[in-house]
Structure 1
Amino acid sequence: MNYENILISIENGIAIITINRPKKLNALNKATIEELHVALKTLEGDAEVKVIIITGSGEKAFVAGADISEFAHFSEAEGGRLAAKGQELLFDLVENLGTPVIAAINGFALGGGLELAMACHFRVASDNARMGLPETSLGVIPGYGGTQRLAQLVGKGRAMEMIMTAGMIGTEKAFAFGLINHMVAQEELLPFCKKIATKITNNSPVAIAKAIQAVNAGFKEGIDGYKTEIKAFGECFGTEDFKEGTSAFLEKRKASFPGK
């Protein structure tokens, strides 16, 4: 597929998706969400891709929000469908993807941009990044999972304050809150993310996918995360990766995981 709003590069098992709408500060419009959906599904199906990094083009923004012009005149029903479709196509997809997804936040991550970053499995931000959910200043609330994921990551009280004030926080506060895993200089952002990604590529893709499933289960209503973990743990024993990993350990050599 030829993409108009994103760029993709793949090297050494690491795919980098760059949201490329610099004149709009990489805002998420309908077309970009659909392109990201296709790209993520395609990369997940590529056995050579072990880790995905999502970032924004330029030095100003990761994603500065949703494209408000697309939905400013929506009705209640249209607004509900917008949130439901967006969550299904992109945000829930990212969270539950079997391939690890790292958000490399290179500037403003606001509204839908922060929601996209929070859907990723973890986040690294440059020292100039600013994060927030400004939706209440527009008379609406976060609709792409922001009310749920922000509270999970930073706690209910901090999430309430960030959403109610519609303000932005910097990288240091985001790190202190647990919203991001690491903060680095902007020029070090992608090299740092690639370094973490390389460590991930050394491990079993099958085990990592099951670990993502098990961790996520603990945050889903009506699902017992411990039972999910037990089931996934047992399933690992039937994989070629388990046989290779244990054999390599006993033979004191580096494992070469087939990803099966």
Structure 2
Amino acid sequence: MDETVTARRNGAAPRNIRVDADGPVAVITIDAPAKLNAMGRTFWPEMRDALASLEADGHTRAVIVTGAGEKAFSAGGDIAGFAQLDTVQAKRDFQRECMRTFAAVEECSLPVIAAVNGYAMGGGCELTLACDIVVAAENAVFGMPEAAVGLVPGFGVLRAPSVIGRHWTKLMVFAGERVDAETALRIGLVQKVVPAAELLATARALAERIAAQAPLAIAAGKGLVNRGVDRGEFDHSTAALTTLQGSADVGEGIRAFTEKRPPVFRGR
């Protein structure tokens, strides 16, 4: 049995995520509540490994993804960590790592339900777009604010138009518009909104309903629904993000973020 499956059975936790199983339903928890469950560098391979292990274990029929604590599903990528990507190749490799992970969620043969507690910002919002169904607490807030530090959400700009439409995507990406749970339900980003105290129970009940169906049918259905999603677009998104990450504006945006001041962008 591999490390991730062993971890979920004996209670050991991966570094950036925790995986727990109860019958046919597994819960993947982004486990960094002190940082609002920000996605550290280890998050990306750990998420892929966890999904691959759950697919292969012969027990799991549905997966729930949530965040530790009550404040956030995930505040997104570790912005300060972006500054450590000091070469073009490092920036490109990081973007590919992120894209591979979002694609792994989309392409996992198991249904993946996002249970969104609190903030789902940046990469956290993008992760919900990669999931199959989204259940949100009434206090959930969604946003893609990357432009504030000179970036765009590389996966979000590709996937959000098919989920919420081009104009809502532009509003969220261009203006950093934050969307509350009820608005997210109205525009199709979320499928169910429930009181925060009922979030995990609701997500689990839904996961158990799905898990009771024929697993081959669910896998085939997911594949067919997603068939129209073009994987080739990842390349031009990766190229655009790599260029942006090398710009002076991104350096200024990251410094301003860490120094807690407004950025001064110069368009270069």
TM-score (norm 1): 0.81
Deviation string, structure 1 residues 159-205 (Cα, Å, up to 9, x no partner):
01110001211001100110000110001000001111111111110
Look up the match of 1:91: 102
Match of 1:131 among 142, 157, 162: 142
Query: Which residue type is aligned with residue 192 of structure 1?
Result: T
Match of 2:92 among 56, 70, 80: 80
Cα distance in 1 for residues equivalent to 2:88 and 2:175: 24
- Structure 1 unaligned residues grouped into runs of 5+: 223-260
Cα distance in 1 for residues equivalent to 2:122 and 2:134: 16
Match of 2:182 among 172, 179, 199: 172
Cα distance in 2 for residues equivalent to 1:161 and 1:54: 26
Look up the match of 1:216: 226
Q: Does 1:199 align with 2:175?
A: no
Cα distance in 1 for residues equivalent to 2:152 and 2:89: 15
Look up the match of 2:30: 19
Match of 2:195 among 185, 195, 206: 185
- Structure 2 unaligned residues grouped into runs of 5+: 4-11, 233-268
Q: Does 1:117 align with 2:128?
A: yes
Higher relative contact order (CA 8 A, sep 6+): 2
Q: Equivalent residue of 2:42, what SS?
A: helix
Query: Which residue type is aligned with residue 168 of structure 1?
Result: R
Match of 1:70 among 75, 81, 99: 81
Query: Which residue type is aligned with residue 131 of structure 1?
Result: F
Conserved? CA contact 2:16–2:40, under 8 Å: no
Deviation at residue 149 of structure 1 after TM alignment: 1.2
Q: CA RMSD in A?
A: 1.4
Q: Equivalent residue of 2:207, what SS?
A: helix
Query: Which residue type is aligned with residue 226 of structure 2?
Result: N
Conserved? CA contact 2:44–2:97, under 8 Å: no
Query: Which residue type is aligned with residue 180 of structure 1?
Result: V
Cα distance in 1 for residues equivalent to 2:172 and 2:43: 26
Deviation at residue 76 of structure 1 after TM alignment: 4.3
Look up the match of 1:148: 158
Deviation at residue 80 of structure 1 after TM alignment: 2.6
Across the two proteins, how many residue pairs are aligned to each other? 220
Cα distance in 1 for residues equivalent to 2:113 and 2:231: 25
Q: Does 1:45 align with 2:56?
A: yes
Cα distance in 1 for residues equivalent to 2:215 and 2:228: 21
Conserved? CA contact 2:74–2:123, under 8 Å: yes
Cα distance in 1 for residues equivalent to 2:113 and 2:128: 8
Cα distance in 2 for residues equivalent to 1:217 and 1:25: 33
Cα distance in 2 for residues equivalent to 1:122 and 1:76: 35
Query: Which residue type is aligned with residue 85 of structure 1?
Result: E
Cα distance in 1 for residues equivalent to 2:229 and 2:84: 34
Deviation at residue 73 of structure 1 after TM alignment: 4.8
Identical residues among aligned pairs (%): 37
Larger CA Rg, structure 1 vs 2: 1
Deviation at residue 12 of structure 1 after TM alignment: 2.2
